[in-house]
Amino acid sequence: MLLCDDHAVVRAGLLALLSSAPGIEVVGEAGGGEEAVVLAARLRPDVVLMDLQLGPGMDGIEATRRIVADASSGPGSGPGPGSGSGSGPYVLVLTTYDTDADITRAIDAGATGYLLKAERPEELFSAIRAAAEGRTALSPPVAGRVMARMRGSGRPALTDRERDILGQLARGLGNREIARALFISEATVKTHLGRIYDKLGVDTRSGAVAVAKEQRLLP
């Protein structure tokens, strides 16, 4: 497997921890998203253990998207050098962030699993082995929230642009300021706001922000 975290101390800790797990071998380390994409293509690990926040440059979401796309379309796609049980690399997110927005973005990018750093080592080992086989691995709190959303109102999820606008709303910006910040027209902002209101079941700006905070949709 390949480790990707922008903190060298965290990588060292994970490397020491994983070295004690039977059947798990770390074949490389990356300190950023760009490096992870390159190493994943070159080393072809079964699993990439991916942090979300990677400092300057490519974040974990975009790195996940690139790795998954390369795995499915590249000429070298196929089993990696590990167990060979899947068509990885599969990406297992390991992060401290558990907002709905982060979870949704990671899953949309193609992550096989989403694990929180607070999990016990045994849970991490099990999740890695599951991911190597292409099986979904979610921390219990994450799984509960995913299921809750699936059982919810049935309204479609917010798009990335709608989440961007929602974030600007939470900052208290008006339509003109949002348009300038996102380099779009005010008419486009109004259109997106209407869709946001429909999806969240509200009819005011303050209502949208309140629901977004309640459902942890803001970055």
Note the pLDDT tens digit of each residue in 6-38: 999 999 999 999 998 999 999 999 999 999 999
Residue range 145-168: mean pLDDT, rounded = 74
What are the DSSP calls for 95-139, one per residue?
Answer: ES---HHHHHHHHHHT-SEEEETTS-HHHHHHHHHHHHTT--EE-
CATH number at residue 121: 3.40.50.2300
Looking only at the bridges linking them, the beta strands covering 2-4 and 113-116 are unpaired
Question: Same domain for 141 and 186?
Answer: no
Q: Is residue 31 part of a domain?
A: yes
Range of the domain at 13: 2-150
Q: Which two tokens stand for residue 82?
A: 């590990």
pLDDT score, position 154: 56
Question: Same domain for 172 and 121?
Answer: no
Number of domains in the chain: 2
**Mean per-residue pLDDT over the chain, rounded:** 85
CATH number at residue 170: 1.10.10.10
pLDDT score, position 77: 47
Q: Is residue 25 part of a domain?
A: yes
* pLDDT reading at 124 higher than 80: yes
Instruction: Examine the fold and report which residue of 150, 173, 196 is the final residue of a domain before the chain moves on.
Output: 150
Contact 93, 52 (CB under 8 A): yes
Question: Same domain for 98 and 116?
Answer: yes
pLDDT band at 192; cut points 50, 70, 90: very high
